Amino acid sequence: MRSAVHERPAAAGWDVARPPRPSRTAGVSLAGFRDRSTGPADLPVIPHPAVTLVVEFGNGSLVVDDATGRQRRGSLVAGLAPGAVRMRGENVTCVEVHLSPVVTHAVLGVCPAELDRTVVALDDLWGRDAERLREQLGDAPSWEDRFALTDTLLSRRRGTGPPADPEVVRAWDRIVASRGRARVEDLAAEVGWSRRRLWSRFRSQIGLPPKRAATLLRFRHAAHRLAAGDSAARVAAECGYVDQSHLHREIVAFTGITPTALADDPGLVVDDTAWAGHGIGETH
């Protein structure tokens, strides 16, 4: 008996679909998005502690402007913390995949360090596989079928690249669990490495050095606290920022918008609808 996939209305003119069961590949989460707005969408992309894969299908148009001013059209892959990125489009329908950085190399076949703060075309990474998947998604009769097709491909590709070191996985999990408050020297001691070795291996396998990864996790927690109605002063004090100005600078660096604008951004509501129940940045 097949489990139903419920397509839920969310803010900003999007319907969101979630799969009825977890992915077969640890560290992978999926969601479906359908644009139901009456005009073109134009939203800031809120960074997530995951490598993001977007497979667009149908008759819509998706354009992403990255922090350097370059544009990517159609299906894409965004590395960790790509900077202030905006998404534009009309009638967009897509499956979005979040990959924990510790499984990205194994599944995508590309090291996260090669995706550092950038957005690349999925075709450049997957070639014919990307084109075939788009065709299959367009022909599929339901979101459940689309999720199954995507998950099957991801599972088949698992092992394309090498796994992350157990010590790197452990350090990443500690950063996630601490919401970015873990200290690098404590992480190094816990995994039995020097700070220099941890920095080097973590940077090469995750795509960010440990401190920058912690900054990203702290930002995500702060963003959702702001969206929940907490004041910027309280969020700064309770999330580990030096002061409110520090919080302001970090949010502008990650999103290109102010904390006040971020708190009111409908994209966070869509994000919560799509990924509720998935631990932020979780490996398992």
> Do the domain assignments include residue 282?
no
In a domain, 19, yes or no: yes
Structural domain containing residue 235: 166-275
Question: How much is the pLDDT for 104?
Answer: 93
Same domain, 170 and 103: no
The CATH code of the domain that includes 39 is: 2.60.120.10
pLDDT at residue 22 in the model: 92
Q: Are residues 91 and 126 located together in one domain of the fold? A: yes
Instruction: List, for residues 185-203, the tens digit of each pLDDT value.
Output: 999 999 999 999 999 999 9
**95 lies in the same domain as 212:** no
Among 157, 175, 203, residue at a domain's last position: 157
The CA radius of gyration of the chain, in Å to the nearest whole number, is: 18
pLDDT for 253-275, tens place per residue? 888 889 999 888 877 878 777 88
- Mean pLDDT to the nearest integer, 129-143: 95
Kindly state whether residues 202 and 145 are assigned to the same domain.
no
| 3 or 183, higher pLDDT | 183
pLDDT digits (tens, 9 = 90+) for 35-94: 887 777 777 778 889 999 999 998 888 888 877 777 888 898 888 877 677 888 888 899
Domain annotation covers residue 2: no
Same domain, yes or no, for 150 and 11? yes
Mean pLDDT estimate for the chain: 87
What local confidence, expressed as pLDDT, does residue 186 receive?
A: 96
**Same domain as 191, residue 90:** no
Closest by CA position to 16, among listed 31, 38, 36: 31
Within a domain: 27: yes
Do 152 and 170 share a domain, yes or no?
Answer: no
Please report, for the domain that includes residue 228, its CATH number. 1.10.10.60
| Residues 86 and 185 grouped into a single domain | no
Does residue 283 fall inside a structural domain?
A: no
Domain boundary residue, one of 157, 181, 201: 157
- State yes or no: pLDDT of 3 exceeds 50: no
b/e map of 252-265 (b: 16 or more CB within 10 Å)?
Answer: eebbbbebeebbeb
* pLDDT in the model for residue 258: 92
The pLDDT assigned to 12 comes to: 61
pTM of the full predicted structure?
A: 0.88
Block residue for tokens 């969310």: 10
Give the residue from 105, 138, 157 where a domain finishes: 157
**pLDDT of 281 higher than 60:** no
Q: Over 80: is that where the pLDDT of 13 sits? A: no
Residue 237 shares a structural domain with residue 265: yes
Model pLDDT, residue 142: 96
Confidence grade of residue 283 (pLDDT, cut at 50, 70, 90):
low
Across 12-16, 83-87, 136-140, 160-164, least confident range: 83-87
Residue 43 lies in a domain: yes
Which one has a higher pLDDT value, 9 or 146? 146
Does 87 share its domain with 134?
yes
Comparison of pLDDT for 262 and 2, the residue scoring more: 262
For residue 84, is it within any domain? yes
18 and 125 in a single domain? The answer is yes
Q: Tell me how many domains the chain contains.
A: 2
The reply to whether 111 and 189 lie within a common domain is no
For residue 277, name the pLDDT band (cuts at 50, 70, 90): low
Euclidean distance between CA atoms 261 and 256, whole angstroms:
10
pLDDT at 2: 42
Whether 137 is covered by a domain: the verdict is: yes
